[in-house]
Amino acid sequence: MLGVIVFAHGSRDPLWRLPVESVAQQIARSAPAAAVSCAYLELCEPDMATAVRQMVDAGATRVRVLPLFFGMGKHAREDLPVLMKDLAESHPQVRFEQLPAAGEDPRLTALLAQIALETGP
State which residues form the domain around 51: 2-117
CA 90 – CA 6 distance, rounded (Å): 20
Total count of domains within the chain: 1
Sheet containing 2-8: order of strands: 35-40, 2-8, 62-67, 95-98
pLDDT digits (tens, 9 = 90+) for 24-36: 999 999 999 999 9
| Angle between helix 48-57 and 80-90 (nearest 10) | 30
E strands, 10-67, in order:
35-40, 62-67
Residue type, 90: S
Reported pTM: 0.90
CATH number at residue 72: 3.40.50.1400
Q: CA–CA distance from 109 to each of 60, 85, 98, 118 (Å)?
A: 31, 29, 19, 14
Give the tens place of pLDDT for each residue, 32-85: 999 999 999 989 999 999 999 999 999 999 999 999 988 666 766 678 889 999
Interstrand relation of 62-67 and 95-98 (parallel, antiparallel or unpaired) = parallel
